[in-house]
Amino acid sequence: MIYLDNAATSYPKPKTVMAALQDYLENVGASPGRSGHQLAAAAGRILFQTRTALARLFQLNDPGRIIFTQNATESLNLALFGLLRPGDRVLTSGLEHNAVMRPLRRLEELRKITIDILPGTTTSHYDLKLLEQWCDQKKYRMAVINHGSNVIGSLAPLQTMLPILKEHQIISVIDGAQSAGAHPINLETLDPDVFCFTGHKSLYGPPGTGGLYIKKGIEPEALLFGGTGSRSETEYQPEFMPDRYESGTPNTLGLAGLKAGVEFIEETGLDRIIEHERGLADYLRRDLKEIPGLKLYEPKPDEERLPVISFTIDNLSPSEIGHRLDREFSIMTRVGLHCAPRAHQSIGTFPQGTVRLAPGYFNNSKEISKVVTALSIIAGGHYD
């Protein structure tokens, strides 16, 4: 089996992640912050150490600004529903995932917000000149930007975009679902107002883990209210971080795995992981371009990118290609619209979508060679 669906969920997980899950179940098992005994204290340490590990990875000074959620979707919902007010105007891009667009469309119905979608240019998926013009001409409350596209791997130029938003006092919310763990991120330098991430992709954690960083001074309304293990004498939600946003018993099991995943990145070296994954992606792009009838959809050559590759083959539907890769060659991919119809409209592949290949750290060049051979066969040609 060759697994190339890492942009959806990374697989396999590092052995240390599986060991951390087993250790929690066998040796801890308790809820953090709810009791005073030693097992509850051990569970509390897991949460603290996971926050601290994430802060190190994201080069963030204050781990207490990291809030745990079950995924990037919940994080984005917390930011959007918690910060947008009736009548606000929002700026977003043409490469957004439905984790952004569906909450925005719901807020369009509920709170009558206005949504402006920044188009691309002939040389980039981001029209930075138009971004400046719109920010000068329109009064935006918020901009929501996908850091890394799950369809073509394009990376938003945040170093350029965020200062423009800051100059115009526009709240910046960054969807880092694809970039966290797959690209260097320095939150102190970038200085976004909110950065959302998930644990089950390039952070190597289990499903049901994720979170967001909230900058000091940015105060979304909470989505959930309830027990936090703190200030139990009052029936009102605590106002301090992170308890304000973390009601209910947390997914301590999953967060133990997420901690181990982040530590795996640290021990292996983020640069080493990036070099390996992008080397495999470059290998794929180079050889796929030689297959007649296969079309790649990708960023411009001089744009930074993630190891995410989308393609179509003439006269074959993406679903047929994916089915054959799976059944005939045991190659796991993702086909269709990837929960990002807006992105496919931007690249001209709506409504059928594309086939997406997303190599990960545990793939190797021999597997990539087999994938190219399989696609050459499916396309009706041969591969030497």
Please tell me whether residue 337 adopts helix, strand or coil conformation: coil
Q: Which two tokens stand for residue 349?
A: 């592949």
Quick check: 243 and 33 in contact, CB under 8 A? no
Quick check: 215 and 65 in contact, CB under 8 A? yes
User: Domains, the chain, ranges and CATH?
Assistant: 15-268 (3.40.640.10), 269-378 (3.90.1150.10)
End-to-end alpha-carbon separation of the chain, Å?
Answer: 22
Question: What local confidence, expressed as pLDDT, does residue 191 receive?
Answer: 98
Bridge partner residues of 155 (DSSP): 148
Q: What is the pTM of this model?
A: 0.96
Q: What is the pLDDT of residues 267-294, one digit of tens each?
A: 999 999 999 999 999 999 999 999 999 9
Quick check: 66 and 55 in contact, CB under 8 A? yes
Please tell me whether residue 379 adopts helix, strand or coil conformation: coil
Question: DSSP alpha helices (H): ranges in the chain?
Answer: 15-27, 38-57, 72-83, 98-111, 128-137, 158-167, 187-190, 252-268, 270-288, 318-329, 341-347, 365-378
* pLDDT per residue as tens, the chain (384 positions): 999 999 999 999 999 999 999 999 999 999 998 788 999 999 999 999 999 999 999 999 999 999 999 999 999 999 999 999 999 999 999 999 999 999 999 999 999 999 999 998 867 889 999 999 999 999 999 999 999 999 999 999 999 999 999 999 999 999 999 999 999 999 999 999 999 999 999 999 999 999 999 999 999 999 999 988 888 889 999 999 999 999 999 999 999 999 999 999 999 999 999 999 999 999 999 999 999 999 999 988 888 899 999 999 999 999 999 999 999 999 999 999 999 999 999 999 999 999 999 999 999 999 999 999 999 999 985 444
Angle between helix axes 72-83 and 98-111 (nearest 10 degrees) is 30
Q: What is the pLDDT of residues 161-194, one digit of tens each?
A: 999 999 999 999 999 999 999 999 999 999 999 9
